[in-house]
Amino acid sequence: DVVLTQTPVAQPVTLGDQASISCRSSQSLVHSNGNTYLEWYLQKPGQSPQLLIYKVSNRFSGVPDRFIGSGSGSDFTLKISRVEPEDLGVYYCFQATHDPRTFGGGTKLELK
């Protein structure tokens, strides 16, 4: 199975700062069709996860442009510029290239 390792486990931030989360895969996430199915989700306290980014860098409908996904192969990053209160919660990366699909362990974005 593909293992997704997220770092850091917790990211203390000050509102208005930038935050960066890394997701490293145990193998390349490039599909045989050329696409890379790496997604990012945010789970706010007491809520269901919500999709932020799909296929590495595409923002889902309604997601602010302060969320930027990047990376390739097996190394991916989610950057959040100018963190706002509604950005706090647990971020998960997820790969849909290989079966079984797998989630990273999560990164908690919290206030300093």
CB atoms within 10 A of CB 109: 20
Q: Looking at beta carbons only, is 77 or 106 nearer to another protein?
A: 106
Q: CB burial class (10 A; 0-12, 13-18, 19+) of residue 62? A: exposed
User: End-to-end CA distance of the chain, in Å?
Assistant: 35
Site string for another protein, 28-67 (x = CB under 8 A): -------x-x-x-x-x----xxxx--xx--x-x-------
Residues in contact with another protein by CB under 8 A are: 1, 35, 37, 39, 41, 43, 48-51, 54-55, 58, 60, 92, 94, 96-97, 99-106
